[in-house]
Amino acid sequence: MSYMPNIHFLPDDKSFECPENVTILKTAKENNIAHANACGGKGKCSTCRVLVLKGLENCNKPTEKEQKILDKLHAPAEMRLACQTTLSGDITLRRLVLNDEDIEFTSIMGKKDFGRLGESKTIAILFSDIRGFTSISEQLLPYDIVFLLNRYYSKMVNIIETNGGHIINYMGDGLMASFGINDEESFEIYAIKAAIEMLDAVDEMKPYIKTMYGHDFEIGIGIHLGEVVIGNIGAGKTSRLTLVGDAVNLASRIESANKEFNSSLLISEEYYKRVEEAVEVKDFVRTNLKGVKDRITLYEISGLKGAYAELQTEFVLEDNVRWYKCGEVPQLDEGAYKEIKIDDRNILLIKKLERIFAFEDKCPHMGLKLRGSKINDKGEIICKWHQTSFCVESGDVRNWCGNKIIQMMKNFEFAQNVINATEQTPLVVYKTKIDQGQLLVGITG
């Protein structure tokens, strides 16, 4: 008698033989195991999924339709669809869908991108917080508080996302971000790069905030490298990607330690060991953190070393165009704009007719910022300063209206050093495209 693989089902605690080329689902049904299969075992849903606890190497390679569903769910390797899996040896599995409520829930998950079901991964966790914001907010009007936070977050989010990070949560005047959840290359370095750029961006904001609100503005950043569980938690519109684990709590404690040590950027010893060759250390300290049993070493980072300081934002090269991921597609109203930064380029995004256009955020006349400029129905962007119109596709000048204005400005001594040229200079335009919900900006050359 020929050997047949054996399946041990949990939580049923029952074992059955599985003939060659017979799926796990068929074996379960033939032996009266109430195994869910909303699509009838056709590989069109995920309700028959199982977690292989032992013997994963004895399962066949996922079929094309199975892999498509598993990819959509960001499923770990141990998760398989029973209707698509055959065996070459013994396995132990646990059924994940056990009753009608489970079936309804997983059927919903199969109809849309429900995010991650839960996976364990070592990533970088970044926390940041505005110093003394409680006292600042007590002296501002509600409108000013929201305006200031949105202005601050728009800069921080752009920096984090262009460095490959993901915003996990906002907590009033603080945020949590992650790096490496999609196995991005050198994510540990890019997290440090993002933190340094965040501090630089805050330095640029300080004069404005001091002038407008009369307050100093500082932030603290803490980063830790550790293992977390990544998954989408919540229901309906409130479902979002969440990180769970002690590493998250430790990262938060590290950020809070900036207040005690009057520092701006602290990282854990575990993190430092991964980036030691890349970072400039200003100082280090041995300390006790709340909720942590042993004393730990924290490192204050002041910058990146040598070639790492010139690290550029990651991109994909296609036909001589460098495509940069700029995070999720911004939710902009018609005609609204958003400012982003890619390495040393300031870029203005404007939405028009359901498209997002990208331009160098610099007026060709005098180098002034273009924010507030409008796109008309003729496919032209109108410079708000000089009323020159440029083609939104090529940047070519359509109607140069600035000669008189520039001539007038030359009469003022303060303008002499900022006027770049009087000739008709085209506007720099960047390509854009959307891929899997992400906005990509293309830079040629």
pLDDT score for 226: 93
Each residue's pLDDT tens digit, 93-103: 998 876 655 54
In this structure, CATH architecture of domain 315-444? 3-layer Sandwich (2.102)
pLDDT score for 405: 53
- End-to-end CA distance of the chain: give it in Å, rounded: 68
How far does CA 147 lie from the centroid of its chain?
23
Q: What is the mean pLDDT of residues 220-248?
A: 84
Establish how many alpha carbons lie within 13 A of residue 411's alpha carbon, considering only the half-sphere containing its beta carbon.
4
pLDDT score for 364: 83
Each residue's pLDDT tens digit, 114-168: 455 567 889 999 999 999 888 888 888 888 888 889 889 988 998 998 888 999 9
- Residues in contact with 228: Cβ distance below 8 Å, sequence separation at least 6, in sequence order: 120, 121, 122, 123, 125, 243, 244, 245, 247, 248
pLDDT score for 419: 46
pLDDT at 109 over 50: no
C-beta of residue 128 within 8 angstroms of C-beta of residue 242: no
- What CA–CA distance (Å, rounded) separates 322 from 314? 9
Q: What's the mean pLDDT when you consider all of the chain? A: 84
Helix (H, G, I), strand (E, B) or coil at 26: helix
How far does CA 278 lie from the centroid of its chain?
23
| Residue ranges matching CATH 3.10.20.30 in the chain | 6-111
Each residue's pLDDT tens digit, 372-419: 899 999 999 998 887 889 999 999 998 876 555 555 555 544 444 444
Each residue's pLDDT tens digit, 350-363: 998 889 999 998 88
Each residue's pLDDT tens digit, 311-353: 666 678 888 888 887 777 777 778 888 888 887 788 999 998 8
Total count of residues recorded for the chain? 445
Of 385, 178, 200, 427, the closest CA to residue 304 belongs to: 200
- Token pair in block for residue 155: 């800069």
Rg (CA), the chain: 27
Residue keyed to tokens 């949590």: 176
Q: What is the mean pLDDT of residues 178-194?
A: 91
- What CA–CA distance (Å, rounded) separates 205 from 186? 29
CA angle 192, 193, 199 (to 5 degrees): 90
pLDDT confidence of 58, banded at 50, 70, 90? very high
pLDDT score for 445: 66
| Residue ranges matching CATH 3.30.70.1230 in the chain | 119-310
- What CA–CA distance (Å, rounded) separates 191 from 178? 8
Residue 58 burial by CB count (10 A; 0-12/13-18/19+): exposed, middle or buried?
A: middle
pLDDT score for 100: 55
- Residues in contact with 317: Cβ distance below 8 Å, sequence separation at least 6, in sequence order: 323
pLDDT score for 415: 46
Indicate the fold that domain 6-111 takes in CATH.
Ubiquitin-like (UB roll) (3.10.20)
pLDDT score for 343: 73
- What CA–CA distance (Å, rounded) separates 41 from 26? 9
pLDDT confidence of 195, banded at 50, 70, 90? very high
Of residues 182 and 2, more confidently modeled: 182
- Residues in contact with 380: Cβ distance below 8 Å, sequence separation at least 6, in sequence order: 389, 390, 391, 392, 398, 399
pLDDT score for 252: 94
Domain 119-310 listed as CATH 3.40.1390.10 = no
Residue 362 backbone phi and psi in degrees, to 5: -155, 120
- Give the sheet arrangement for strand 438-444, strand by strand: 315-318, 321-328, 438-444, 429-435, 355-360, 345-352, 337-342
Q: What is the mean pLDDT of residues 182-187?
A: 86
pLDDT score for 95: 87
| Residue ranges matching CATH 2.102.10.10 in the chain | 315-444
Residue 350 burial by CB count (10 A; 0-12/13-18/19+): exposed, middle or buried?
A: buried
Write out the H or E segment, with its range, that includes residue 252.
helix 246-261
- What CA–CA distance (Å, rounded) separates 271 from 422? 52
Each residue's pLDDT tens digit, 262-301: 999 999 999 999 999 999 999 999 988 887 888 999 999 9
pLDDT confidence of 242, banded at 50, 70, 90? confident
SS3 of 277-295: the string is: CCEEEEEEEEECCCCCCCC
